[in-house]
Amino acid sequence: MQEPQRSGPLLQVTGLKRYFGSGHETSKHATIKAVEDVTFQLRAGETLGLVGESGCGKSTTGRMIVGLEQPTTGAIAFRGQDLSGLSAKEWRAKRRELQIVFQNPQSALDPRLSVRRQIREPLDLHRIGAPSEREAAVTELMEAVSLPHELGNRFPHEISGGQAQRVVIARALTLKPSLIVCDEPVSALDVSVQAKVVALLEELQARLGVSYLFISHDLRVVKMLSHRVAVMYLGQIVEEGLTDELYDEPLHPYTKALLSAIPDIAMALRRHDSRRIVLQGDPPSPAAPPAGCHFHTRCPFARERCRHEMPALRAIAGEGITHKARCHFAEELKVAS
């Protein structure tokens, strides 16, 4: 494995775009702009939460980073090396360092392989260590994710969803990656199991220094383990900041609405408190995003300028440089609220 570079981020994504259905001039289908100009970075041992509603492009972004999807344009630099130009063979080698965990653990596992074989498979494929050492490594990994030894010979259908997600995480860790893209890893699990899997991810990060790009629609879960958070809407990052900063003082109207829409257990005690901003309508189609600011059709504060001019993602006066928002009027709205 390469020595981590002391300077520069582990992952630097710049101007990433992914358009679907374009390229054929005769095609009648509209171009879907799934990801539009996404830029962010991730440091070693850091967790970046990528949140947004369905269709905002968060999963497509994650898939491009692990090479499951080709960017239309833009650069993905991992330890300073651009990944977008890699061949399939080069990608296979690179995947040791970049792993992904999906939402549905049962469908991510091979139904015909026992738990031990699933976890061992990456070692076999990459021919790492002698066969006897591989068995020892599997035992160690199972312990790391608190899977009981007896489960080793079971098959995916014989274990619970929470256990299956542990197997998937163990398998992702087999090759000692430095970055794991977690795409909704706990969304299919019950809350008590969710809490355990999140605690496991945090513990593994503290021990192994792995970075996570944590993709989720659930802002409550994201807050538990993300150092920083980026909010996406219609293919763009609309706000980015340190987690507490962003949750305590959201600058973009969409983030405000998203946060206030979370059903919170504190509401049991203060009912009839009309703090909620309920957005009207559905998100527009990414095939025909509105002109100007993409959010203006649902924004309660939209003005004339928002209809024509797309705002840039920028640092907001009076906030730290880490906190950015894509809104023309973020300063004014901050004073107003």
Residues that bind other proteins (CB under 8 A): 43-47, 53-54, 190-192, 194-195, 198, 202, 205-206, 209, 217-221, 223-228, 242-244, 247, 257-269, 271, 276, 278-279, 281-283
The answer to whether 184 and 108 are in contact (CB under 8 A) is no
Q: In whole angstroms, how close is the CB of 53 to other proteins at the nearest point?
A: 4
Which residue number, 4 or 15, has a Cβ lying nearer to other proteins? 4
Which residue number, 82 or 190, has a Cβ lying nearer to other proteins? 190
Q: In whole angstroms, how close is the CB of 56 to other proteins at the nearest point?
A: 9
Q: In whole angstroms, how close is the CB of 73 to other proteins at the nearest point?
A: 28
HEC string of the chain equals CCCCCCCCCCEEEEEEEEEECCCCCCCCCCCEEEEEEEEEEECCCCEEEEECCCCCCHHHHHHHHCCCCCCCEEEEEECCEECCCCCHHHHHHHCCCEEEECCCHHHHCCCCCCHHHHHHHHHHHCCCCCHHHHHHHHHHHHHHCCCCHHHHHCCHHHCCHHHHHHHHHHHHHCCCCCEEEEECCCCCCCHHHHHHHHHHHHHHHHHHCCEEEEEECCHHHHHHHCCEEEEEECCEEEEEEEHHHHHHCCCCHHHHHHHHHCCCHHHHCCCCCCCCCCCCCCCCCCCCCCCCCCCCCCCCCCCHHHHHCCCCCEECCCCCCCCEECCCCHHHHHHHC
Which residue number, 42 or 138, has a Cβ lying nearer to other proteins? 42
Which residue number, 136 or 199, has a Cβ lying nearer to other proteins? 199
Q: In whole angstroms, how close is the CB of 81 to other proteins at the nearest point?
A: 22
**Bridge-based pairing state of the strands 47-51 and 211-216:** parallel
Report how far residue 15's alpha carbon sits from residue 151's, in angstroms, rounded to the nearest whole number. Answer: 44
Which residue number, 137 or 193, has a Cβ lying nearer to other proteins? 193
Q: In whole angstroms, how close is the CB of 168 to other proteins at the nearest point?
A: 18
* AA letter at 293: C
Which residue number, 138 or 222, has a Cβ lying nearer to other proteins? 222
Which residue number, 130 or 265, has a Cβ lying nearer to other proteins? 265
Which residue number, 142 or 222, has a Cβ lying nearer to other proteins? 222
Q: In whole angstroms, how close is the CB of 264 to other proteins at the nearest point?
A: 6
Q: In whole angstroms, how close is the CB of 32 to other proteins at the nearest point?
A: 16
Q: In whole angstroms, how close is the CB of 242 to other proteins at the nearest point?
A: 8
